[in-house]
Chains A and B, each alone.
Chain A
Amino acid sequence: MDMSSHPLLAVIDESPPFPDKYPQLKRLDRSVVCQVCKEPFTAPVSISCGHSFCSQCIRSSLDVSKKCPSCNENCSEGSIRRNRALEEITDAWDESRPTLIELTRPAPTSTSLRKRPAPEPNSKASSSSGPYKRVKTNGSGSGSQSRSVSPSKPMSKDGSNGHARDHEEDEEEEEDEDEIQELTENDEAPCPLCQATMPISSIPLHIEKGCPPPKSTKKVNGAAGKGNQKSDWKKVFSGQGLGSGKGKEVEMKRITKPNYALATPAELRATLADYSLPTAGDKPTLTSRLQEWIILFNANLDTSHPSSLSALRAKLAESESSRKRDKEKGKDEMINQLGTKEGMEKYAKEKKGEFERLKKEIMERDKRRETEGSGTGKENAIEVD
């Protein structure tokens, strides 16, 4: 199998890694990753031993084993504390990452981007300057959309603003004749390659991905997502989010776990109904649904960007159905099956073809190495008496 072009990998929508020559950035990049899900922290929390994980990850893990996944120290759910500093760091890093990726790219690419001529001369009118972060654009189509947070002043009045301003202007002149606009990362600008308009912060990633249509890029953009979440959240607080019309507000308070062993299916259904969740299924289904809901719900209280209850419900439904799909692939059964001799034999029989193929591949590879004469004994791992 070709390791680099697996179709399942195409599903991962990922930002590019830092080049190898920046080990310190790679380390920083790794340090905001949860060791359970291997993704940047979402709603990070700390536990008694000092290790931090996504709230959802550690809550799920503690349901299985009451130990820290990293150091195996005993740990209970009661010791989970929100880690606001880590959340801020993760958010800030997420925001700066595209910029840093851009800065670490090899020089030739950035110059070629810079040298693009500005197609619209009138965009100069909207340009302003100030002691804010500079983002270069070539101005096309962005004039009306760009919003400047700086107290924008016409260029002509700049003279009165002192030396600092003069110095900056000099710098500008040393560079090419581009338009320079004061923009924040959330402002929109056209991609220098395909001219599609999108938030500036997502342009480097967009280029890195080979300029896909901007719609998907927008979806990925964190800022846009947060905006929606905020309005969704407002809806929840004003009661609109609770679609069932029961007139019963869901309290935004941590849910205490019921005793699943003692709870009757009717009780589980009643609790699920309180949160407008589906009540179909037998006891194990109800239990795992409620368990997962409590994890999602409680984890949602550990973040400054909480999801709406309806989004949480959708997440629960999706997770339940994807887990069902996984189960249908028969793997859980297979694991049990592998424990028995007959099951193992059946499995071995089914996989015989693949084994033969791999065997052939490895033998060919070894033969190739031998003929190349570069084989260093160690590589020639197959010993023949």
Chain B
Amino acid sequence: MFGNSTRAQTSTATRRLMKEYRDLTADPLQDTITAGPVSEDNMLEWEALIQGPEGTPYLVFPSDYPLNPFTMTFDPPLLHPNIYPNGVVCISILHPPGDDPLHYESASERWSPVQGVRSVLLSVLSMLAEPNIESGADVECCKLFRDNKPEFERRVREQVNNLLGI
């Protein structure tokens, strides 16, 4: 098999991430989104760039990736029903494997090792377009989104403009 010699020198997590990075480079997700490692010597920390007003998500990988999911954080935090006020993305595909005790979401929506950066970024894109207020992370924001959408949109715009210094 190709690459057995190098496989021994890198951790499983790093190797798998290299694969994913190479595949993302060879076959970009969409025009609107790119992702890659932040620094050259560490595969376990990525930044993604989503074109549009969404800020920069950072991806942080555990050392037992892909057995456990990575964390995705918007920096600066983004006003969105499914993003915690501290910027951490709350999306079922990023929740650790196994059933959650409340049976809130079925296991099929959760993380498994066959998922990857690509599939998560796609889910996040659709989450950004269509917030899921039934399992909100930012309760205040959920309420606002449900009850007063124009105000919600105004506040998002305001935040984005501040962010970009416009």
Contacts and interface: CB of A to CB of B under 8 A. Distances in A.
Interface string A308-344: 0000001100110011011101011011001101001
Contact of A13 (B6, B24, B40): B6
B80 to A, nearest CB: 15
Contacts of B82: none
B66 A36 contact: yes
B114 A70 contact: yes
Given A61-B67, A354-B47, A335 B60 contact: yes
Nearest to A322: B11
A57 interface: yes
Contact of A219 (B5, B13, B14): B5
A3 B34 contact: yes
How many A residues touch the partner, as a band? 35 or more
Nearest to B34: A3
Given A69-B113, A69-B114, A358 B63 contact: no
Contact of B63 (A7, A318, A323): A323
A383 B53 contact: yes
A39 B12 CA distance: 11
Interface string A117-143: 000000000000000000000000000
A216 to B, nearest CB: 8
Given A14-B2, A354-B47, A381-B32, A344 B62 contact: no
Contacts of A381: 32, 51-53
A36 B53 contact: no
Nearest to A91: B1
Contacts of B37: 1, 6, 8
A11 B2 contact: no
Contact of A12 (B6, B8, B87): B6
B60 to A, nearest CB: 5
A40 B25 CA distance: 20
Contacts of B47: 354, 358
Interface string A209-224: 0000000100110100
Nearest to B2: A15
B98 to A, nearest CB: 5
Contact of B21 (A9, A37, A64, A326): A9
Contacts, number: 195
B140 interface: no
Nearest to A68: B112
A331 B113 contact: no
A219 B9 CA distance: 14
Given A6-B21, A323-B11, A382 B34 contact: no
Interface string A193-213: 000000000000100000000
Contacts of A314: 8
Contacts of B31: 379
Contacts of A173: none
Contact of A382 (B38, B45, B113, B160): B160
B22 interface: yes
A341 B86 contact: yes
A8 B20 CA distance: 12
B9 A326 contact: no
A38 B10 contact: no
Contact of B97 (A39, A67, A225, A385): A67
B164 A37 contact: no
B75 interface: yes
3 residue pairs, one from A and one from B, having the closest CB atoms = A381-B52, A65-B97, A322-B11
19 contacts: A13-B2, A35-B113, A35-B114, A220-B5, A323-B11, A323-B63, A327-B63, A331-B44, A331-B63, A334-B45, A335-B71, A338-B86, A347-B75, A351-B58, A355-B76, A359-B56, A359-B163, A379-B51, A385-B161
Given A8-B41, A38-B20, 19 more contacts: A3-B34, A12-B22, A13-B5, A35-B114, A38-B19, A61-B112, A64-B97, A65-B112, A67-B107, A69-B114, A315-B8, A322-B10, A323-B63, A329-B45, A331-B42, A332-B63, A341-B86, A361-B49, A362-B49
